[in-house]
Amino acid sequence: MSSSPSHIPLVDLVAQYQAIKPEMDVAISTIIGNGHFIGGEPIKAFAREFAAYANVPFCIPCANGTDAIEIALGVLGIGPGDEVILPSFTFVATLEAVCNVGATPVLCDIDPHRYTIDPYKAISLVTPATKAFIPVHLFGQMADMDPLVAFASDNNLFIIEDAAQAHGAMYKGKKAGSIGDINTFSFYPGKNLGAYGDAGAITTSSQWLYDKIFKIVNHGRVSKYDHEIVGRNSRMDTLQAAILSVKLRHLEAWTAKRQNIAARYRALLSNLDSIQMTREYADSPGVYHLFVIRVDKDIRDDFRSYLKSKGIETGIHYPISLSRLKVTTDQLKIDVYCPEAEKASEEVVSLPIYPELTDLQQDYICDHIKTYFQK
Ligand SMILES: Cc1ncc(COP(=O)(O)O)c(C=O)c1O
């Protein structure tokens, strides 16, 4: 049994900061020192760098990933009377954005191995009122996009990729955020690329959409007091852009570390029949925002308590599928059964994964998982 690290968190943002402290401190103090906190070159630079990273012509930094989805829906003209199909297993933000533009969310079940929207079930839910699909690339794994893209282009439907958890993930040679009409990212602190506060981005290949979104996020303005369209304030802070530019330089290396940690988990836990790991897809390598296993629902709480007693933090993403959330059933009065999403919500457990997780810590986690199941 490996020796005992005192506490292993699910995510360790302090360890990440310590690893990049000198360059991060310079970036932050430069912004504070020059007193320009809104707009400016750091925003433009991050937009260029992130567009290049996601391999897409345009990127518009914005305030957070939820705004990004809402703005994407709005600029596509989606609103009251329109239906938008999204997975029933995701963070609530995807649902909120649809509701906040006045459109009707249509919840679709997931592929139980990929944890992302089942494209064939999504297509079966299309009605004359459907305007868009929002595939969510959950846990760092891209959704199976080809069937959706083919159907959407034949039927004049839009695709908005919610890539909040999938910076750098690939699908058949294409990067997350480069496939849909408009695509959205979150830089919430715990994301693979995380700000020191809230931040988000929108990507697109359309110059026309870029021009419009660029104005919307900054009060519809074309210059300081020249406002052309109804916009809003969804600007990314200059400080966050500078922070994200520093971190973006490390993202490829961090992703490789996450992928190595995931491979080690798979090897170390491979002989345990009591847990089920996510499938890997050779044509769409994931970036392991989370490392999710499944256990029997009757032992999940006990399993997590055991690991907690050994100093190992775990998470549940997500304990209630969207189809069973009160906002869905009680407020929105949506009655839908999504068996795979509901089953997943009862069985999933997220294990610690972050680039700074050491082999020693990971051995300790896996030793205790094995001990639990062999007792
Ligand atoms: C899948 C998904 N979509 C949207 C969001 C919303 O992003 P934000 O928290 O930046 O508003 C998140 C983030 O938490 C997310 O995980």
| Run means of pLDDT, 10 residues per run, the chain, 375 residues | 73 97 98 97 98 98 98 98 98 98 98 98 98 98 98 98 98 98 98 98 98 97 92 98 98 98 97 95 97 98 98 98 97 97 98 98 98 91
Look at phi and psi of residue 288 and say left if phi exceeds 0, alpha if psi is from -120 to 50, else beta: left
The rounded Å distance from CA 135 to ligand 1 centre is: 13
The phi and psi torsions of 34 (rounded to 5 degrees) equal -95, -5
Nearest atom, ligand 1, residue 187 CA: 10
**Residue 87: strand, helix, or coil:** strand
Residue 335 CA, ligand 1 centroid: distance in Å: 24
Closest residue CA from atom 12 of ligand 1: 164
Q: For residue range 118-151, list pLDDT tens digits in order.
A: 999 999 999 999 999 999 999 999 999 999 999 9
CATH 3.40.640.10 fits 16-246, yes or no: yes
Residue nearest atom 7 in ligand 1 by C-alpha distance = 65
Amino acid residing at 155: N
Rounded-to-integer distance, Cα 79 and Cα 81, Å: 6
Q: Which of 186, 234, 244, 289 to mutate to test the pocket of ligand 1 (most atoms within 8 A of CB)?
A: 186
166 phi and psi, to 5 degrees? -140, 35
**Ligand 1 centroid distance, CA of 98 (Å):** 13
Q: 195 CA distance to ligand 1 centroid (A)?
A: 13
What pLDDT, on the 0 to 100 scale, is given for residue 4?
Answer: 60
No. of helices (H) and no. of strands (E), the chain: 12, 14
Ligand 1 centroid, distance to 370 Cα (angstroms): 33
Q: Are 305 and 295 in contact (CB under 8 A)?
A: no
pLDDT digits (tens, 9 = 90+) for 252-304: 999 999 999 999 999 999 999 999 999 999 999 999 999 999 999 999 999 99
* Ligand 1 pocket, residues with Cβ under 6 angstroms: 64-66, 90-91, 93-94, 136, 162, 164-165, 186, 188, 198, 200
Domain ranges of the chain: 16-246, 252-374
Residue nearest to atom 8 of ligand 1 (CA): 65
Nearest to 216 by CA among 134, 104, 204: 204
Q: How far is the CA of 186 from the centre of ligand 1 (A)?
A: 5
Check residue 103 and report its DSSP letter. Answer: P
Sequence-distant (≥ 6) Cβ neighbours of residue 358 within 8 angstroms: 5
Q: Which atom of ligand 1 is nearest to the CA of 64?
A: 10
- Rounded CA separation 361/12 (Å): 12
d(CA 276, CA 348): 9
| 3-class DSSP assignment, residue 160 | strand
Q: Which atom of ligand 1 is nearest to the CA of 90?
A: 1
Write the DSSP assignment of 177-229 as a string of letters: TSSSSEEEEE--TTSSS--SS--EEEEES-HHHHHHHHHHTBTTEEETTEE-S
Supply the pLDDT for residue 197: 98
Closest among 91, 88, 37 to 64, alpha carbons compared = 91
Q: 65 alpha carbon to ligand 1 midpoint, in Å?
A: 5
Residue 164 is given by DSSP the state T
Give me Rg for the CA atoms of the chain.
Answer: 21
Q: Which two tokens stand for residue 280?
A: 């890997």
Tokens standing for residue 225: 């007091």
Name the CATH superfamily, with its identifier, for domain 252-374: Aspartate Aminotransferase, domain 1 (3.90.1150.10)
Cα(201) to ligand 1 centroid in Å equals 11
Distance CA 275, CA 374 (A): 12
What is the pLDDT at residue 3? 47
Pocket test for ligand 1, best of 69, 91, 116, 160 (most atoms within 8 A of CB): 91
The alpha carbon of 309 and the centre of ligand 1 are apart by a number of angstroms equal to: 30
Task: Please check whether residue 163 is in contact with residue 177, taking contact to mean a CB–CB distance below 8 angstroms.
Answer: yes
Q: Strands 221-223, 226-227: parallel, antiparallel or unpaired by DSSP?
A: antiparallel
Report which ligand 1 atom has the smallest distance to the Cα of 66: 11
Residues 233, 219: Cα–Cα separation, whole Å:
6
Encode pLDDT of 264-275 as tens digits: 999 999 999 999
Ligand 1 atom nearest residue 137's Cα: 1
